[in-house]
Structure 1
């Protein structure tokens, strides 16, 4: 009997060990499915593939997102979307596309001048093209990471004025009241914008 008891104990032990190894292997693979190789941020490669981006395009887009994250902080929540400080979102134009669009919203479609009502929007390119920062809250300054010419659209409630601050934090210019816009605006001197 003792020999059988030890054999059963040993077999049961092997089963338990095998189950634990299987469980931990499964947990490790499912736990990292959404993480990148460095484990520090989600992996958006499946989303990029779903959009029809090539591996090279996905890598280029991620490199742009990484550059913005290094300069502006924030949290990347989609292949082309970074949530910045309270009330601001940075949208990246997809490779081959002229305008940024929110892929996580109800509609991915947008027009060249799209800026949600009650928001102040800044664009990296002229004519409301390129990457886009949407800013909402008054009395907060949102950093502008661009140089060269871009554009902006103040689509806040009627009469609301946006303040443009230089790289030293000094008020350099105040926009006309909403709704107002500039399809060719120099970003070189702008360090931040307060929507109102």
Structure 2
């Protein structure tokens, strides 16, 4: 199935950009897969737990899609052949926790010591900037998949490194920088990624909310 961005550019899944794997690499990938789910799956499980226990209401945002070509191989089945993203996506998740609006992006990398800033986009940073201006809580959750390390990085720190790149600096954040400015989250069972423990430290006080 073909997807296209609002500007007409064809969407290519990151998985389709990977070179063919040799047997050793394939064996490593299978082994890694047994260690845990993807970041999105873990976060969806976490949010389901938060909802069922009444702790928070946070969901993954649906991406609006316009279908332009459908094939009907059978009368009872339809296969989407081509579709377009109606608009550029903002961030992955949003919801409400303790009366606060929560909005965040989730990203993974197989790099060992850095996270490429090209994985973010201007419209996402602009969106997070607007959320913060309206006193919402916005951040990114980053997983280094090879080492299973997960960090929560508040938006102001992401913006700092984004601005550095825009001024001609390095095009990535080092793991050391993310660790220094962010918070590490241990992978658990229930919930899988308990990021609200960190959000508790980011929530402004009553005095700050009224300013």
Same fold, judged at TM 0.5 (above): no
TM-score (norm 2): 0.30
Q: Higher helix fraction: Structure 1 or Structure 2?
A: 2
Q: Higher strand fraction: Structure 1 or Structure 2?
A: 2
TM-score (norm 1): 0.31
User: Greater relative contact order (Cα 8 A, min sep 6): structure 1 or 2?
Assistant: 2
